[in-house]
A and B are shown apart, each in its own frame.
Chain A
């Protein structure tokens, strides 16, 4: 087997001294190692104090999520040789969670947030029979709506990569919201949708910045960012009214009317208060100072807009 030489640059943390630092390990190892096997090699041969969390080595237990070259992923699923950049592979603990030692983070704060979304099925007596001998049927097309989301292994890679948490440490987190979506979609669940939506609103769905990093991080190909948009849609459709839902309605309405969003009136409509009016008024002053005439402020429909509107209507109905 081919051997390769490179540097493993590992973030260390010693709770006894409260010191955090990078340590370089020069290794010459088989080129077939996963990042986890590389860590095990270092612990075995170079420094037995190196601490990390791992178990199944098969990308199913979700224990070994960490930041590898700035991106979160499972150490056991990633080939080390693919990650060597200029002779170095950089390994750090997940972001947004307290570090216990080296690459081990305390998962408790993220699990506590998960508990807030009621991450379990509350059987709907109308759907789930009392008699345990009778099956509770879920049709394939019903299951398809949350099939992917049930693949979540709670590894927290998405949480460790989330930008919304950079701005708000109280943010619920991507996998927590996936779990909320999964139970809203479950036909056997008896909790009112409105009640489940209420659980994800505070430091939740409206805080997401749609950066797509959770999708990039997920080892199972789940897209929390997409599920968050679905949760927002459900919140809007169940009557929630706030800056975000007003924006979503206005956005779609003006695209339907003209093909483009009306960014001039958007702040006024979305904020729905003096703050929004002020922004739109400032825009008006700015446009006038640029010599723009009033009919240039908002977009105009393009030629043949009727056919476009028809297309949108059909997409809504037939797709």
Chain B
């Protein structure tokens, strides 16, 4: 069981601790990993504004780097997951595009074969680690009322959705074994965090980010849990605290609050650990 960690922008700069969180998560799960150290930005829905074809090329290359190492690709980021998975769909359904990109990849000695799977934390736990195996790694229980927040890009578009987009249950299935009480059906639980408007219309991002948080608070949640580092970044710093699911998992697997990087959360979280 070995996986290739895809390093996106959520692993650098002010978010560098996300790399630690990810590595700790994999080690807690007993998953061997290798860093795809020559991987490049997925495009993040921004390089499309320069040239969409470059996005196909970048991600064909990212997947080829995993294939070169004989591993599947794993990213904790909803957006990287969706962008890379959408590229994979485009390449696998268009042999001409695939062949042309492979011609260009040859200079680096790479080839996109289409064999590597694309994993995000949610389907990694379900399909790669296995839910039963996952549960067996949990050493202690967390006590809190937690509102799951999926973020858009693991549920849309339908072709790359990780769970049933209308009635997703996977995040609940992952959080419940941690001992937390799940608060679902809260107002705006499917509303976008607005992250991708940060540098196109910053006010739009501000208006959106707070909506799911307020809904969760109203419903009695003590904190929101999201798998996505970008949703986390967009929604951290308001009244209601938000954590990444992997932070909670790492705590339940015995990591200290420091190892789980709770210290980098802008809105502080009080968690009872047993």
List A residues at the B interface (Cβ < 8 Å): 68-71, 83, 85, 163-164, 166-168, 206-213, 215-216, 223, 226, 229-230, 232-233, 236, 243-245, 247-249, 251-252, 255, 259-261, 263-264, 266-267, 270-271, 283, 286-287, 292, 297-299, 302-304, 307-308, 310-312, 314-316, 318-319
B199 cross-chain contacts in A, Cβ below 8 A: 243-244, 247, 266-267, 270-271
| Given A233-B48, A264-B13, A210 contacting B57 (CB threshold 8 A) | no
CB-nearest residue of chain A to B37: A302
Contact at A210–B196, with CB atoms within 8 Å? yes
Contact at A163–B13, with CB atoms within 8 Å? no
CB-nearest residue of chain B to A229: B48
B190 cross-chain contacts in A, Cβ below 8 A: 70
Ranked 9 nearest A-B pairs via Cβ:
A163-B192, A259-B40, A211-B152, A315-B57, A244-B200, A69-B166, A247-B199, A248-B49, A216-B156
Tell me the residues in window 92-123 of chain B with beta carbons closer than 8 Å to chain A beta carbons.
97, 100-101, 104-105, 107-108
Which of B38, B152, B157 sits near A163, CB closer than 8 Å?
B152
Contact at B44–A299, with CB atoms within 8 Å? no
CA distance A286 to B264 in the complex (A): 10
CA distance A305 to B262 in the complex (A): 35
A247 cross-chain contacts in B, Cβ below 8 A: 46, 199-200
CA distance A206 to B204 in the complex (A): 9
The listed residue with most B CB atoms (<10 A of its CB), out of A166, A244, A249, A266, is A166
B82 cross-chain contacts in A, Cβ below 8 A: 212
CB-nearest residue of chain A to B82: A212
Q: What are 5 A-B pairs with beta-carbon distances under 8 A? A: A69-B167, A252-B47, A259-B41, A308-B40, A312-B54
- Minimum CB–CB distance from A265 to chain B (whole Å) comes to 10
Q: B139 on the interface (CB 8 Å rule)?
A: no
| Given A85-B167, A168-B204, A261-B41, A252 contacting B50 (CB threshold 8 A) | yes
Contact at A70–B107, with CB atoms within 8 Å? no
CB-nearest residue of chain B to A244: B200
CA distance A116 to B86 in the complex (A): 32
Known: A70-B190, A213-B156, A244-B201. 13 other contacts (CB 8 A): A163-B192, A212-B152, A212-B156, A213-B192, A233-B48, A244-B200, A247-B46, A261-B9, A263-B13, A266-B199, A315-B56, A316-B51, A319-B100
B267 cross-chain contacts in A, Cβ below 8 A: none
- Minimum CB–CB distance from A212 to chain B (whole Å) comes to 4
CA distance A207 to B51 in the complex (A): 20
- Minimum CB–CB distance from B187 to chain A (whole Å) comes to 11
CB-nearest residue of chain A to B53: A319
Contact at B14–A263, with CB atoms within 8 Å? yes
CB-nearest residue of chain A to B50: A252
CB-nearest residue of chain A to B160: A212
Contact at A259–B39, with CB atoms within 8 Å? yes
CA distance A38 to B52 in the complex (A): 42
| Given A260-B40, A283-B13, A232 contacting B49 (CB threshold 8 A) | yes
Contact at A167–B208, with CB atoms within 8 Å? yes
CA distance A209 to B231 in the complex (A): 12
CA distance A182 to B15 in the complex (A): 39
Contact at A303–B38, with CB atoms within 8 Å? yes
Q: CB-CB contacts of B158-187 with A at 8 A, as 1s and 0s?
A: 100100011100000000000000000000
Q: B197 on the interface (CB 8 Å rule)?
A: yes
A243 cross-chain contacts in B, Cβ below 8 A: 199-200, 202
Contact at A216–B53, with CB atoms within 8 Å? no
Q: B30 on the interface (CB 8 Å rule)?
A: no
Contact at B38–A261, with CB atoms within 8 Å? no
Which of B13, B52, B152, B204 sits near A213, CB closer than 8 Å?
B152
CA distance A68 to B201 in the complex (A): 30
B161 cross-chain contacts in A, Cβ below 8 A: 216
Contact at A233–B38, with CB atoms within 8 Å? no
The listed residue with most B CB atoms (<10 A of its CB), out of A68, A163, A287, is A163
Q: B143 on the interface (CB 8 Å rule)?
A: no
A69 cross-chain contacts in B, Cβ below 8 A: 166-167
Which of A209, A212, A223, A286 sits near B194, CB closer than 8 Å?
A209
A216 cross-chain contacts in B, Cβ below 8 A: 155-158, 161, 165
Which of A209, A261, A263, A314 sits near B104, CB closer than 8 Å?
A314
B49 cross-chain contacts in A, Cβ below 8 A: 229, 232-233, 236, 244-245, 248
CB-nearest residue of chain B to A296: B16
- Minimum CB–CB distance from A256 to chain B (whole Å) comes to 9
Contact at B192–A211, with CB atoms within 8 Å? yes
Contact at A212–B165, with CB atoms within 8 Å? no
Q: B88 on the interface (CB 8 Å rule)?
A: no
- Minimum CB–CB distance from A6 to chain B (whole Å) comes to 14
Tell me the residues in window 44-93 of chain B with beta carbons closer than 8 Å to chain A beta carbons.
44-54, 56-58, 61, 82
Which of A83, A212, A226, A316 sits near B54, CB closer than 8 Å?
A316
CA distance A241 to B74 in the complex (A): 36
Contact at A207–B44, with CB atoms within 8 Å? no
| Given A70-B166, A287-B14, A308 contacting B204 (CB threshold 8 A) | no
Contact at B207–A167, with CB atoms within 8 Å? yes
- Minimum CB–CB distance from A181 to chain B (whole Å) comes to 13
Contact at B57–A233, with CB atoms within 8 Å? no
Q: B12 on the interface (CB 8 Å rule)?
A: yes
Contact at B104–A315, with CB atoms within 8 Å? yes
